[in-house]
Structure 1
Amino acid sequence: MTAVRTMLAACISLAFVVGPVLAQETTAPAPVPAQAQSPAAPLPLNELRTFVEVMERIRTAYVEPVDDATLLENAIRGMLDGLDPHSAYLEPEAFRGLQDATSGQFGGLGIEVGQEDGFIKVISPIDDTPAARAGIEAGDLIVKIDGEPVKGLTIMDAVEKMRGEPGTTITLTVIRDDGRPFEVELERAVVKVASVRTEQLDPGYAYMRLTQFQVNTGDEVRRELEKLNADGDLKGLVLDLRNNPGGVLQAAVEVADSFLDSGLIVYTQGRLSNSELRFSATNTDPSIGVPMVVLINGGSASASEIVAGALQDHGRAVIMGTNTFGKGSVQTVLPLNNDRALKLTTALYYTPDGRSIQAQGIEPDIKVEQARVTRDEAEMGFREADLAGHLSNETGVERPTVRKPAGPERSQDADYQLNQALNLLKGLNISRARG
């Protein structure tokens, strides 16, 4: 019991010391809440005694020796795991991986994951990565990694297992739509994510795809908009945020600002005063108010939802697709003094109209499920102008049926949601012209 009392005293001292130390080590120091500073707040002595007693029992009675450092690290992980799915204790490798991911280059499979019922759930695969090429889909549940069950693993442990040297292989056991488990073999690669991609759908109608929100995504969007508007003939834009897992908050603000010239974009609310932030648009709008459709789905999360919610609340764009993921919480990375960090949920996001994104997501203005566009050859048929001996039109213009040879498939030919977005943009322009 002497050892227990000594350790209990150390834990009580620790309760007073940890807060200020963490605040000093953060990149954006956060004040300790008033209730945590008050000396009148009683310490949970019974729980502290239980904690120390459990630790002492493990040290003396567990079948194999366990050092104190390991026990304390496990206790820290347990504290974070018990909060919410997005708070985590980052060991050095995980901390570096997080920094690499937000900079746009990292090693692994290229999937954003969360946790559900003890399994690892795919929020979205990232375009042009091993996971996307292997057919991993948003909503898939990963139940085994290289034959080892993931049940009981923390999300960070699972991520560490999926990372590895480029060129090495990994087998994931996946369940999709309550079906039977199946295996997918993937080859790890250095994942270099180009966060912005554009193409022309039809003359005057452009497509912009955002795969992630990285530190430079806002600048990339502005550059692409300037290119698209260089000739002044841009009639409409489809902004594709489907399967975009989010990323850096500031990047989301900058992207939304690229399509707005005034008004609130997003605000956050938390317990600490510096977690209550408001971000507003500037008076520069490189999109020059061009008609927009934003595509979203269940893989659109976090920063994607901020952008979609802001454009929806301001009436700047028509939001089309299916409901988003619903991750409306803010994670702050708090570096510690041993190359480790806490990723801690510190606030919630709200759209300009005060809607909480958390566990609700963004509901589209026009709900369109994903499908594949196929041409009905029976619709081609024949026309009057194809009939022998038909009467001529007095204008001299006749349009017989022309069967064009199959050409290269365009993006909108294979993607029903994109096809519908393009049709809507054309309709909006026709209405404008006639109005």
Structure 2
Amino acid sequence: MDTPTSPGPAPGGPPRARAFTQDTAQVLALDKTTGTLRYLPAGEGNGETEAGVTWRSLIARGMLLCPMPGCGAPFGRVVAGGARRHHFAHRPGTADHDHGTGPETLWHLNAKDVLHRWAATCPQLAGWTLHLDDTRVLCQDDWRRPDVLAVSPDGARVAFEAQYSELTGTAWKARHDFYARAKVADIWLLAHHGPQWRPATPRQLRREELALHESAWVAAIQLSGLHQTMLRHGVTPLWLDPSTQMIGTATTRIRSRHTRARLEEDAAYTLPPGRAFPACHLAADPLEQCVVDLAAGQLLTPAGRVHHRDRERFEAGEKAALERAALLQARRDAEHKARTLRRRAAEQDKRRASAARAAEEQQAQQRREQEQRQRREQEEAQERAAAEARQKLPLVRQFPPVFEHETPAPARRPWWKPWRRRA
């Protein structure tokens, strides 16, 4: 099965394993001469910014200043050794600030600069005018100022928002609706630290959609109310690591409820998380490999392309599975109907046979009763004939016992028994 892997970072870039590690390395510096931000590419701390000019020489001349609001002190050195990413650093005691806090963190500044420089090289935005945090989007009586705004020659607009502060799903929905009313495509990139970044718990990691792990999946993140709201409105959450210029795409491994694994080569699909999922994986891809889908108004990452491909395969598999289920159900219905017809026919045959047996028994009973009546009639006729024949005979023959024996004399009572007169 295809996985959301990518060819890897650009030559000299950091490995994917370093992405989203919340490294606080300062990779931006403010050019003292031009007043613009300069980015230190990964692994280039000992290299040259241009022919004959190195990063270290600029640091030595004090030409690179700290872009942190309220600081502005020149950087004292370039850290270009060890396992950490190459970055700028102050000398001890020359600056006192925490670049992870404040009204606008260094990461946020870095994120806006990274997005601005990437948009300038994005083929889909070629010829567009780019505005870095200096242009308002107006709609009726409301306005918003996106971090990066790209405007095409024909008036189409794409807004890039790097969200580092806390944001609820309701507030995001209001901003998303505002951009929709203003006819501006809004692309949201979440911070890889703070309220937008909460690692998944061990219990969540045991869930089915998080059980598998690919090499391009660098972390497992809890899905907050903001993320769930974005998913409900068809927006896949994206995270930005400005230090490594990597984009993290919310990813899960989903199994079809209708597809049976024993019939399919692979029943799992790499898709965005479902609306009810508590956590998801992060598929990390280099920002330079991402494109802007102007038709959908979204940032399409390599992992997002895998999502689209797997979604088509998933929907095709679901459709085929549903068709198979419909055919199987139709076959079952036909078999059930045939069984029902056979059962009804058998019951009808049984009822007919029972009725025939009942009719035969009734006829047999009627024959027996008729025979009994005939026998009784014959016997009665014979008795009547015998009685008529006896009546025609003389009395002597009719009552032979009367005439054959004399009437015995009445018995005399003994003399010792008194005679009792009959009443």
TM-score normalised over the length of structure 2:
0.26
**Structure that is richer in helix per residue:** 2
Structure whose alpha-carbon radius of gyration is higher: 2
TM-score normalised over the length of structure 1:
0.25
